[in-house]
Amino acid sequence: MNDRYILLVAAFSISALATGCGSTDLQATSLLTTPSQTQTTIPATEDIPPTATPTITPTPTSTAIPISITDSLLRAQQSTPSSEPGARCGVVDTLDFPIDPPEAKNVRFGGQDFGVFRDAYYGYHAGEDWWGPGDRASSFGVPVHSIGHGVVTYAEPNGWGRDKGVIIIRHTFPDGSRILSFYGHLHPPSVTLRLGDCVARGDPIGQIGQPRSSPHLHFEIREHMPSSTGRGYWSSDPAKAGWKPPSQFIWTYRIQTSPGVEWLWSSANNIVQNLGLWNRDTVVAITTEEILGIDFEDGSLLWKIPISDQSTDALFDSQLPLIYSFNHRRELVAYEMSDLDSEDQISAPDLPIEPIWEIPLGSSRAPTLLPLPNGGIAVAGRDRILGVSSSGELLWQHNPFARPMDWALMNGQLFLTTTGRTDPIWTIDENGPTAWEVPLSGHLAVHEEKVWIYADDGIYLLDMEHQSADLIYSLPNGMIRLGDTVALPNGNVLVDHTDISDRRLMLIGSNGELRWQRSYSGILQGELSLIELGGTPYLVTQDETNLTQESRTTTWREIIIYSVDIHSGDLTLVFHGGTRDPDQGSTSILTIGDDRILINLWGTTLLVLNPRIALETNTR
């Protein structure tokens, strides 16, 4: 999964079958124990029978059936407002953006200047400035919409004098909490709402006007001043004085109320990695500055322990348990998890935990951290790979060594592919790496005793006895950097394949027969990856768009997860998240047991998703 900004890691225990991936951008992996050690399987269905002998099928034609998508998840969140006690105009169902709702995908500038200090106004920006979907010059007259159901608490065509009209709306949430949305610089003739009017989410409430500066919307979300405009700036950090980062608040609420999301937890520090599950009930994560323990059931913070050196990558060995971390001093260090249970550590939570050992690596780039099958860690640097025991002992070193591409654990061995097309397949254990006499690079998929490789010319099945690889399905000219594969419990392999003519999903039988193929070219966008959970495959897309206007850039990112019907290839949306923050980090995903997905969204938010609940909601 080279050159991706999304890292997908499948959960596993040291002794159990596992799959994982190497990413040369994130270069992060995870080692964890799942809540259940029982492998969930599903039988091969009668309409998808296995074949007796391998067959090499020719390249698929360009006439694959277009993929079908069911997307009613957002509609399941939406409701018509109705009067309730304490909420005369109804409670919030979900939130939209004020320009180009619901998600403002076409807006080139907006959502990134909250809290910015500006000398001209002697303060910190208490909101966000938004243009219309075109450019700044064409923003005048663009419709402005209410972000949610609510009641007008202030509406004045010239509420800001020369800076034009202002509307304030109070929104009541199902738990009784309230916030205010503020819309400034409105064109005065468009401000026709009055105090006490009810508005629904998406209702037009005015138009962008012409203030003393260029046309734009000043948009705030705040907890105070329901009938006072304020001046749009504050003398200190507005986030500590009753204002919310508007775009972040909207997306967080949309995600938090999405069907299947069981809890959501946000961090002020960048979450380097969601490491996995410890003792079956604690999610362990590491940020740049601390190790976190979060209750798996409800998302409450159990503990947080500062670390002595800033982490940039980490891997979790839940069996010992140890956390291996690569820090900003370019050292590999290990933290003992038993220390986190000590009375001294819990009673002094501000006391940094010290590593039990540290090894200077001196690498010019962050290495890839890989789990050794029986404990310890393999560290793949720029041109070498070395093995380190759990006690910090150097076990072996091998160089030269190419950059890892993908990895999988099976039967006490770590299978590894690298980025070079002529590089061999590697198996690694505590004694070091062994090169197969097979030049093959690609994505690995593992189930029970079988290992497949999706390479640029097709699907290979590894022969363990002879250390060889058999081509079972030919796919010439594949762009494997844009593709992926995952093995399913019924023996099939799902492939995300891209070539010069098409992008498609393909289900390949264990002996090489094509079960179905569906084209998604022009339908799905961004980087695609595949995971399997409880016998069901899921397709993850993550897209990033930089919208630039007048030297100002808005970064729009989104992650979408679809359930894949193994019989038809149809997709059903089960999760959708987004951000407009250009400074946020990467996204990683862990599967937990057979029914939960732990997601680290852009290094700021952890959440647990039960995709089956979302799937049931979307197919009602």
Tokens 């979408």 correspond to what residue?
560
Residue 276 has pLDDT above 90, yes or no: no
Chain-centroid distance of CA 602 in Å reads 6
Supply φ then ψ for residue 269, to 5 degrees: -100, 155
Residue 476 binned pLDDT confidence (cut-offs 50, 70, 90): confident
Give the residue with greater pLDDT, 271 vs 128.
128
H or E, element range at 445: strand 443-447
pLDDT score recorded for residue 38: 29
Tell me the per-residue pLDDT of 390-437, one tens digit each, with 9 for 90 and over: 999 999 999 888 899 999 998 889 999 998 888 999 999 989 999 999
CB 414 within 8 A of CB 370: yes
Tell me the per-residue pLDDT of 316-335, one tens digit each, with 9 for 90 and over: 988 788 999 998 889 999 99
Over residues 58-85, mean pLDDT: 81
pTM (2 d.p.): 0.85
Give the residue with greater pLDDT, 238 vs 75.
238
Residue 39 has pLDDT above 90, yes or no: no
- State the Cα–Cα distance between residues 285 and 288, nearest whole angstrom: 10
Residue 253 has pLDDT above 90, yes or no: yes
Tokens 């593709």 correspond to what residue?
483
Among 19, 18, 24, 21, smallest CA distance to 5 is for 24
CA angle 450/453/456 to nearest 5° reads 160
Tell me the per-residue pLDDT of 581-596, one tens digit each, with 9 for 90 and over: 766 678 889 999 899 9
pLDDT score recorded for residue 380: 92
Residue 69 binned pLDDT confidence (cut-offs 50, 70, 90): very high
| Residue 446 token pair | 């593992």
Over residues 5-28, mean pLDDT: 34
Supply φ then ψ for residue 345, to 5 degrees: -70, -40
Give the residue with greater pLDDT, 86 vs 35.
86
Give the residue with greater pLDDT, 261 vs 2.
261
Give the residue with greater pLDDT, 206 vs 413.
206
Over residues 137-144, mean pLDDT: 94
pLDDT score recorded for residue 147: 98
- State the Cα–Cα distance between residues 105 and 573, nearest whole angstrom: 18
Among 224, 227, 260, 228, smallest CA distance to 243 is for 224
CA angle 28/524/265 to nearest 5° reads 45
Tell me the per-residue pLDDT of 114-128, one tens digit each, with 9 for 90 and over: 999 998 889 999 999
Query: Which amino acid is residue 323, in one-letter code?
Result: I
Strand partners, 417: 406
Query: Which amino acid is residue 224, in one-letter code?
Result: H
CB 379 within 8 A of CB 404: no
Residue 47 has pLDDT above 70, yes or no: no
Q: What is the Cα gyration radius of the chain?
A: 26
Percent of the chain with pLDDT over 70: 85
pLDDT score recorded for residue 25: 32
Supply φ then ψ for residue 389, to 5 degrees: -75, 170
CA angle 249/255/258 to nearest 5° reads 140
- Angular region, 181: left φ>0, alpha ψ -120 to 50, beta rest: beta
CB 526 within 8 A of CB 80: no
CB 6 within 8 A of CB 531: no
Cis preceding-peptide flag for 49 (omega within 30 of 0): no
Residue 364 has pLDDT above 80, yes or no: no
Give the residue with greater pLDDT, 555 vs 217.
217
pLDDT score recorded for residue 422: 86
The DSSP line for 18-81 is EEEE--TTT--------S--SPP--PPPTTSPPPSS---BPPPPS-PEEP-EE--HHHHH----
Coil, strand or helix at 531 = strand
| Residue 61 token pair | 């034609």
pLDDT score recorded for residue 6: 35
| Cβ within 8 Å of residue 111, ≥6 positions away | 97, 104, 128, 130, 246, 247, 554, 580, 581
Residue 21 binned pLDDT confidence (cut-offs 50, 70, 90): very low
pLDDT score recorded for residue 55: 47
- State the Cα–Cα distance between residues 218 and 196, nearest whole angstrom: 22
Give the residue with greater pLDDT, 121 vs 514.
514
H or E, element range at 273: strand 271-278
Residue 187 has pLDDT above 90, yes or no: yes
- State the Cα–Cα distance between residues 556 and 605, nearest whole angstrom: 17
Percent of the chain with pLDDT over 90: 59
Residue 458 binned pLDDT confidence (cut-offs 50, 70, 90): very high
- State the Cα–Cα distance between residues 532 and 255, nearest whole angstrom: 22
Tell me the per-residue pLDDT of 284-315, one tens digit each, with 9 for 90 and over: 988 888 888 999 999 999 888 888 888 888 99
CA distances from 199 to 34, 83, 203, 473, 617 (A): 47, 12, 6, 57, 27
pLDDT score recorded for residue 528: 94
Q: Which domains, from first to last, does the chain contain?
A: 6-38+66-71+257-618 (2.130.10.10), 94-253 (2.70.70.10)
pLDDT score recorded for residue 26: 28
pLDDT score recorded for residue 305: 87
> What letter would DSSP give residue 355?
P
- State the Cα–Cα distance between residues 351 and 527, nearest whole angstrom: 41
CA angle 76/78/82 to nearest 5° reads 130
> What letter would DSSP give residue 517?
E
Mean pLDDT of the chain: 85
- State the Cα–Cα distance between residues 115 and 265, nearest whole angstrom: 22
pLDDT score recorded for residue 299: 92
- State the Cα–Cα distance between residues 435 and 416, nearest whole angstrom: 10
Residue 543 has pLDDT above 70, yes or no: yes
| Cβ within 8 Å of residue 583, ≥6 positions away | none
- State the Cα–Cα distance between residues 391 and 358, nearest whole angstrom: 10
In the sheet where 536-549 sits, what is the strand order?
69-70, 571-579, 552-564, 536-549, 527-533
pLDDT score recorded for residue 245: 94
* Least confident span in 23-32, 329-338, 520-529: 23-32
pLDDT score recorded for residue 549: 55
pLDDT score recorded for residue 449: 87
